[in-house]
């Protein structure tokens, strides 16, 4: 989980570029979400490590509306050309979709309070090997209580961040 993550200002800059591209392509309303995640999962079955999975993902989603019709484009990675293509694709899909005569507007941006205790610095730097070590210690602790215990479960680590931008006419 130590792969460098895009900085907040980099994510916002990318989201704003995609937003501008969608609006220039004819979107009346648009929002862009760009984020990253790093996940590790260790599966324990019958007291042994069954599997270890690790995934790092960078992705964006562009939602564009034209006459209330919606088009959505998502892709992984943060290549600028992919973001710009995704923005224009979302507008093209919105134009091809059935207009919604009841659509009025997307809600505007709002402030979200920071909830203390949801972010743990120790998890950000953990590797798949760290997650395996946690699982191995848990197995050993359970077996120290009862050597015949049947142990199934797992350890999961998830670190993610997302930034959003919104624009409308």
> Edge-to-edge, what's the strand order for the sheet holding 48-66?
69-76, 48-66, 29-45, 153-168
CATH number of this structure's domain 8-104+116-168: 3.30.2290.10
Q: Where are the domains of the chain?
A: 8-104+116-168
**pLDDT at site 155:** 95
Which parts of the chain have pLDDT scores under 50? Answer: 1-3
**pLDDT at site 169:** 56
**pLDDT at site 56:** 87
Instruction: State both tokens at 135.
Output: 């699982």
**pLDDT at site 122:** 84
**pLDDT at site 2:** 43
pTM value is 0.71
**pLDDT at site 125:** 82
**pLDDT at site 162:** 73
């Amino acid at each position: 989980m130590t792969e460098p993550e895009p900085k907040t200002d980099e994510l916002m800059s990318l989201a704003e570029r995609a937003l501008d591209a969608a609006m220039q392509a004819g979107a009346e309303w648009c929002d862009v979400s760009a984020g990253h995640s790093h996940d590790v999962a260790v599966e324990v079955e019958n007291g042994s490590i069954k599997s270890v999975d690790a995934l790092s993902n960078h992705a964006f989603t562009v939602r564009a509306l034209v006459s209330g019709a919606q088009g959505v484009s998502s892709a992984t990675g943060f290549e600028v050309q992919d973001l710009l293509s995704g923005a224009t694709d979302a507008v093209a899909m919105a134009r091809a979709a059935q207009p919604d005569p009841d659509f009025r507007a997307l809600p505007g941006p709002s402030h979200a309070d920071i909830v203390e205790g949801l972010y743990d610095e120790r998890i950000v730097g953990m590797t798949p090997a760290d997650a395996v070590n946690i699982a191995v210690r848990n197995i050993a602790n359970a077996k120290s209580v009862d050597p015949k215990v049947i142990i199934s479960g797992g350890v999961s680590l998830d670190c993610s961040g997302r930034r959003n931008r919104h624009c409308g006419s």
